[in-house]
Structure 1
Amino acid sequence: MRAWLRNTAGGLPRTYWYLWSGMLINRVGAFAMLIMSVYLTDERGASVSLAGLVVGGYGIGGVAGTLLGGVLADHWGRRATLFWAHTVAAALMAALAFAHHLAVIAVLTVLLGIVHSMPMPAFVAAIVDVVPAERRSRAFNLQFWSFNLGMAAAGLLAGVLAQVSYLVLFLADAGATAVTAIVIAWKVPETFRRRDAASTNGGLLTALTDRTYLVFVGLTLLLAVLSTQTSTIMPLAMLSDGLSPAAYGTVVAISAALIVVGQLFVPPLIDGRRKHTVLAAALLLIGVGFGALAFADHLAVYLIAAVIWTIGSMLAAPPNAEVNAELAPEELRGRYQSVFALTFPAAAFLTPALGGLSLERLGDWHWIVVGALGVAAAGGHLLTGPARDREAGRRARPARELERVAG
């Protein structure tokens, strides 16, 4: 057991563990927004449509915050971006706890969307800064595990605290965010090696015109569209099959439990294998899992399908993040991370917008289309992966040369 723990988590620098701890605390404490729509309708008397509009504002703010966080991570530095984003978020959440007017709540929600999304590009950029290339797969595997563990804990806490008091819920969320800011200020040094200002010329435009990178981001968008089926379209399909919300909760809980228990065992399975082949296998599993829902009429089939696509998601997480890190130039790492991170809010919009229409018009054939997207994404990784790996190696050479000279 001790040897397994060393193999899974050993060799990672101390700064990484402080970043990891900050992310875990942040995720565990991020429970207020999970039930924001319930709070607005139950406590503030908002209509369902108005509550949806306010919560949608959080998503719009998230798009802006993701891009802003990437730019600031490369301009201010990772530590400053992380500290101020969490500090402002804690203050805004505390203000939200005492806000009563819906207009004020709506404005605060948009602002929270911005500051809640700012840290992720800086977190990932800092991890890439401090973790050697040969250890990044394990670092990202642990990051994915902590994110899901934190979200599972947040979901449980949200329900418990909402029954106690919404005021307590918002203030506890603010407190957890403030603790993350303290951990960053106390233990996380600045990891960004500042260089000549000319090295950042082009900014976001460089990332947005990088063809190799954009092809990879496009394949990641397909992965995100597949993954968000579980929270958007699958509940509708289960309802049409006569299954209860409790059945949906069981499927989600089994998937989350599998990630929490199994993610730590992923590194031995993928170490030494080509990243594009692992990604292809992962996308194929995800596609097969969702495609199987075309034949699902009973809870047991949904559970089996969930196990299949969850294993695929577990395999995909480390190499996907690793490729993203390899393609990003060091001086533009934050900006590249922000472009990558945009795939998730984009999928959160595209999946319900197009998926609902697809399910309504195609019925069970919707899941065949979704499965085909997974197969197409797997083929895309097989076709573009070798060239992408060569390009990543070419981009890594200057950094290795600088490290050799510095050493």
Structure 2
Amino acid sequence: GSVAAGYLGGAISDRIGRKPVIIVGFGVEALFLLSLAAVGGRTVLGLALVALGSAFGSVGGGASQAMVADLVPPQRHERAYAAMRVAFNLGITIGPPLGGLLLLGQHWPRLFLGAGALLLAVLGLAARFLPRRGAYSPEKPPERGSFGVIRRDAPFLLFVLSGGLAYLVYVAFETVLPISLVSSHGLSPSAWGFLVIVNPITVTLFQLRLTRRVERYPAAPRLVVAMLLMGWPFLLLSLSASIAVVALLILVFVIGEMLWVPTSQAIVAGLAPADLRGAYMGAFGSTSAIGFALAPLLGLQTRAAGGDTAMWTFFAAISVAAAISGAVACRFAAGRMAARAVVSI
């Protein structure tokens, strides 16, 4: 559902504008959050509401990513997407303590009501301050269907494949790594919770600095380095799972993540035709849903069959495949962006 919703939201935003799609998509997600307060013990209903709410959140995701490219010139795309990551990770850093305060006394309805109300308040600010169009928005809506264009765009499809593989590695960090550390290596859940906060704090403090330092280098080698930094540190766990090693793994992983995300988003913005930018950003963003669906399944099945080392070797190999496919796609992207720059002169 989230895969289709992300693409459709982006495609619709190409036709009616980014702002209404962002507000409606995240607004419906907020309503689903509020409705969770009334679920009580009806588990199936609660899970269905969570799934539907996430899908509507994806509707606004592609439009919001496309709006970034509408607002800033192409040479500043990476910095703009890096700034978005800082804001996102600041929310990840602040969100758990705020949620804990709302959950005092294990009052779950208050948590859902508070989160939903906060999202609606943010959408009120978006309705007031988001522009209807940016300085780099296309002049008119597309006169062609986006699906057919995307289907014939081999470099973009290759980059989507690379993104899907990269998200398998990323989601392995989010979901499979804590399972392995707690069940196989005896790390306490509280210790993992303390260590993992290094990730969003590091992004919040250093993402913009790192992006400025590396943006002068070509995208392809940056993407290769990013993928290897994300996938290969898992292999350290075959040697040791001490606190120091886990902390090092997290730090190296987050450096790779900081290289990967803004670089990949800027590449997609560069590959996308201006009139179909939302559809392209939505289609690429939907690869995250594929990662969340498949990474735990594939990782834990590999672990059950061959143990933790086999599982981490699998994800390291996936990172290599993501690096190779992404680097090849980057070469096509660089040529396409250079050709557009010549035409615009």
Mark yes or no: TM-score above 0.5.
Answer: yes
| Residue in structure 2 matching 1:232, options 160, 163, 175 | 175
Q: 1:101 to 1:372 in 2, by over 3 A?
A: closer
Aligned residues: 339
| Residue in structure 2 matching 1:379, options 312, 324, 333 | 324
Contact 1:204 1:336 in 2 (8 A): no
Q: How does 1:1-400 map to 2 (within 5 A)?
A: 60=1, 62-100=2-40, 102=42, 104-164=45-105, 165-191=107-133, 193=137, 199-238=142-181, 239-363=183-307, 364-395=309-340, 400=344
By relative contact order (CA 8 Å, sep 6+), the higher-ranking structure is: 2
Q: Percent identity?
A: 27
Q: CA separation in 2, counterparts of 1:378 and 1:104?
A: 40
Structure 1 window deviating more from structure 2 (215-224 vs 384-393): it is 384-393
Q: 1:186 to 1:74 in 2, by over 3 A?
A: same
Q: CA separation in 1, counterparts of 2:47 and 2:246?
A: 37
Contact 1:291 1:369 in 2 (8 A): no
Give the letter for the 1:149 counterpart: L
Contact 1:142 1:264 in 2 (8 A): yes
- Mark the runs of 5 or more structure 2 residues left unpaired by the alignment: none
CA RMSD of aligned residues (A): 2.2
- Mark the runs of 5 or more structure 1 residues left unpaired by the alignment: 1-59, 402-407
Give the letter for the 1:180 counterpart: V
Q: How big is the shift at 1:115?
A: 1.8
Q: How big is the shift at 1:150?
A: 0.8
Give the letter for the 1:393 counterpart: A
The TM-score normalised by the length of structure 2 is 0.90
Q: How big is the shift at 1:117?
A: 1.5
Structure 1 window deviating more from structure 2 (68-77 vs 89-98): it is 89-98
The TM-score normalised by the length of structure 1 is 0.77
Q: CA separation in 1, counterparts of 2:314 and 2:36?
A: 42
For 1:192-219, what per-residue CA distance to the aligned partner results, in whole angstroms no more than 9, with x for missing partners? 656566x441222322331100111111
Q: 1:80 to 1:383 in 2, by over 3 A?
A: closer
Q: How big is the shift at 1:108?
A: 3.3
Q: How big is the shift at 1:93?
A: 2.6
Q: 1:186 to 1:379 in 2, by over 3 A?
A: same
Q: 1:91 to 1:268 in 2, by over 3 A?
A: closer
